[in-house]
Amino acid sequence: MKYGIHDDATTKDKIADLLRYHSTKSAAEMTSLKDYITRMKEGQDEIYYICGESKKQVESSPFLEALKKKGLEVLLMTDPIDEYSMQQLKEFDGKKFKNISKEGLNTATTDEEKTKAEELKKQVEELCKVIKETLGESNVEKVISSNRLADSPCCIVTGEFGWTANMERIMKAQALRNNSQGSFMVSKKNSRN
């Protein structure tokens, strides 16, 4: 079914109704996208998801920290085809999908949280410059403060339009891949602290 979403744009919305995923709130049961939407927090306008090699791996990801602390549900996608199908399935029932391992995630929902995030950003601006200089231009595109973490000191995210680390892993595992073909999609990493 997931291949159908990637391969057939005319029926992807019908197929999406049938999809089931594990999530941070569904325990051993799998959940549908419709059920996920019924559990969304007030003011939440995106369907959060993360892709990885295994359920155990994605459940321990630092990307989940702040979202779990706020009680926000995240879909846990572990099939390699999920990376491909999510590139085609941009939204479901008017809610856009958001890969939490990519740039652009903002967990601040209240004005107070947004103000705190801006203050923190100003306070650590100089530190971020030093970290970027230390890591070097070839290793990271930028280093910025973020509200996406709760316990971990930092994480490395992918740019909005590049491949995630999981997609890079999948592409490297392709038996018949063309090494020169995908080099332009390998993303520069962004350090969040």
Domain spans of the chain? 2-192
CA-to-CA dists, residue 34 to 62, 86, 154, 170, 181, angstroms? 26, 16, 33, 28, 37
CATH 3.40.50.11260 corresponds to the domain 2-192: yes
Residue pLDDT, tens place only, 79-126: 888 888 888 898 999 999 999 988 878 777 678 888 888 888 889 899
**DSSP state letter for 102:** B
Amino acid at site 32 = S
Task: Tell me the pLDDT tens digit for each residue of 11-70.
Answer: 888 899 999 999 999 878 999 999 999 999 887 889 999 988 889 988 989 999 989 988
